[in-house]
A and B are shown apart, each in its own frame.
Chain A
């Protein structure tokens, strides 16, 4: 059966994910070392150890994302995160930075390394490089590939692949985007946040809900239409005579119907996005995808799920898995 890797922004969400059938839970420490460094979210050292004990007692794994790019002069903060994760007994750490990977491979030879989506490793050559240079055992593939390309990659590599099947969709190659810091000074790579809440302002202007980020108008949502996240790349903009979602519509990924094809493409693990979401989201999405991977393993059709309400724009896309997305 493909491994289901589920998000947990809090210990409560971790317990909800395990209860709902997660094979593995991924989470991060409450600081700038992980790419979901949001207010009120993430784990203290103590909570991480408790979370690992809780998950292991129920047969689930814990993967710790330390997937921002260490700040020059402050690398010990990231190095401590890796050491503390290993001490807490986690099953793997998820890293993106080559300097950090080199450190982990050298200082923590027994620790299993996964390559974060933030490294955007999009072809067999670079994946094999990460495997031979650092001993990376699994690669989370960027969300720019089609199912055929994923299958082709798996034929040329010896490490496992993990792909996103549900949740927020980065339009840009992950870890290679500084739109957010251009406008707010804070970026996923450096601070673990994209379009951060501290720079968001919502206002009701007439019938419209207007969202601004760092003073730039990102959306004007008319009454009754679904409200999107105030993420830059999913904003509504104008270019010459055209107005619209120039980069991406405010939709999110739902690849549940592609689970059998992803299995045939040789994918080892399926990942659900959403560490910033509530335990209610985690429970419902994990339950639906656990049913999907079980059905796939048993050769049965994938059950229909009703997850649209949970998704941004309340609409779902297959994203780059279908070539037409490009």
Chain B
């Protein structure tokens, strides 16, 4: 089992992006997916960093893929998506529309925002050229097990969500703009003020969700700290770590130690929780996604 760093969901400035991918060059991860997945309006602010980041990561021996947007509607977005196929990197499809632009037979990856719930979907994607699929975080362990097995038969590497706030929904509406009483077309990029998303609480003050432009995430950070063995037994070959602020290379190293058996589930959880962070892993084995199996130990 190894590690994949997923595309950054948040709006960071060019300097932060540069620093982030530089730090990953020496991190113990096998591959990195980069590119803009949430909002096409953000891309001009940091797209010039992409070629350098790709070069650095490839030179460091990482596999690199470029992501599509999660929701493609505008003509500009369709053009951007068509251009991805010509970048010389595998495309990670995070909206099925991107598949329309990948020439049939060209290998591609499938991200966690595409609905792959069953063997039939996996089979169809394999036939189209998929070689790697990160399953939707919503799936229970029973489904992950069936799909990882099917993936082995189909020659698809199956990845599972490893760490990060959960991508729960995507919308045509921008909640950041709405919170600032602005229209999406005049958002003034306010999502950039919240580099890990903006927290949403219930009326009773319960921590609940986080908004990130048109995306809604969990407020809790999903962590597979306690699930490494069950996932490995199921046949999952990689865990996906989702970018966040802070020392991300160190976080990658912690997960790498956990996979290699150098760090226990309890120690990794304790390390993650030290800043008061709430963890969850309920989609896999709990009654609801927000649950945390660390509480049961």
A residues with a Cβ closer than 8 A to B are 69-75, 96-100, 102-103, 119-126, 128-129, 142, 144-145, 149, 152, 171-173, 175-179, 181-185, 187, 189-190, 214-218, 220, 233, 235-240, 242-243, 246-248, 320, 323-326
Whether, in the assembled complex, B174 has its beta carbon less than 8 Å from a beta carbon of chain A, the answer is yes
A143 to chain B, nearest CB (A): 8
Compute how far the CA of A177 lies from the CA of B170 in the bound complex, rounded to whole angstroms.
7
Contact status B200-A173, CB under 8 Å: no
What does the 1/0 interface line of B105-127 toward A look like (CB < 8 Å)?
Answer: 00000000101011111111100
Known: A69-B115, A72-B147. A144 touches B73 (CB 8 A): yes
What does the 1/0 interface line of B201-222 toward A look like (CB < 8 Å)?
Answer: 1111110110100001010000
Known: A73-B142, A149-B73, A239-B211. A326 touches B173 (CB 8 A): yes
Please name the residue on chain B nearest to A178 by beta carbon: B138
Compute how far the CA of A182 lies from the CA of B121 in the bound complex, rounded to whole angstroms.
23
Known: A129-B99, A182-B218. A172 touches B171 (CB 8 A): yes
Whether, in the assembled complex, B198 has its beta carbon less than 8 Å from a beta carbon of chain A, the answer is yes
Compute how far the CA of A69 lies from the CA of B184 in the bound complex, rounded to whole angstroms.
31
What does the 1/0 interface line of B142-173 toward A look like (CB < 8 Å)?
Answer: 11001100100000000000000010111111
What does the 1/0 interface line of B258-288 toward A look like (CB < 8 Å)?
Answer: 0000000000000000000000001100111
Contact status A97-B120, CB under 8 Å: yes
Q: Which residues of B contact A75 (CB under 8 A)?
A: 118-120
Compute how far the CA of A173 lies from the CA of B282 in the bound complex, rounded to whole angstroms.
23
Q: Which residues of A contact B142 (CB under 8 A)?
A: 72-73
B residues with a Cβ closer than 8 A to A are 70-73, 75, 77-78, 81, 95-97, 99-101, 113, 115, 117-125, 136-139, 142-143, 146-147, 150, 166, 168-175, 177-179, 183-185, 198-206, 208-209, 211, 216, 218, 282-283, 286-290
Q: Which residues of B contact A236 (CB under 8 A)?
A: 203
Majority secondary structure of chain B interface residues (helix, strand, loop or mixed): mixed
Compute how far the CA of A175 lies from the CA of B116 in the bound complex, rounded to whole angstroms.
11
**Which of A73, A97, A182, A246 is most buried by chain B, counting CB atoms within 10 A of its CB?**
A182
Contact status A246-B200, CB under 8 Å: yes
Known: A177-B169, A214-B288. A123 touches B138 (CB 8 A): no
Known: A98-B121, A129-B99, A178-B137. A189 touches B115 (CB 8 A): yes
Compute how far the CA of A232 lies from the CA of B209 in the bound complex, rounded to whole angstroms.
11
Contact status A102-B171, CB under 8 Å: no
Compute how far the CA of A216 lies from the CA of B289 in the bound complex, rounded to whole angstroms.
13
Please name the residue on chain B nearest to A215 by beta carbon: B206
Q: Which residues of A contact B175 (CB under 8 A)?
A: 246-247
Partner of B290, one of A72, A182, A326: A182
Contact status A172-B121, CB under 8 Å: no
Partner of A185, one of B173, B202, B218, B287: B287
Contact status A97-B289, CB under 8 Å: no
B117 to chain A, nearest CB (A): 4
Partner of A183, one of B117, B119, B290: B290
**Which of B113, B174, B206, B209 is most buried by chain A, counting CB atoms within 10 A of its CB?**
B209
Contact status B71-A70, CB under 8 Å: no
Q: Which residues of B contact A177 (CB under 8 A)?
A: 168-170, 216
A308 to chain B, nearest CB (A): 23
Contact status A69-B290, CB under 8 Å: no
Can you list 11 residue pairs at the A/B interface with Cβ under 8 Å?
A: A96-B115, A121-B97, A125-B78, A172-B171, A176-B71, A178-B168, A178-B289, A183-B289, A184-B288, A246-B200, A326-B173
Compute how far the CA of A190 lies from the CA of B198 in the bound complex, rounded to whole angstroms.
28
Contact status B100-A325, CB under 8 Å: no
Q: Which residues of A contact B71 (CB under 8 A)?
A: 120, 122, 144, 173, 176
Known: A102-B124, A178-B138, A246-B179. A185 touches B118 (CB 8 A): no
Contact status B200-A239, CB under 8 Å: yes
Known: A182-B288, A216-B202. A99 touches B136 (CB 8 A): no
Compute how far the CA of A269 lies from the CA of B138 in the bound complex, rounded to whole angstroms.
33
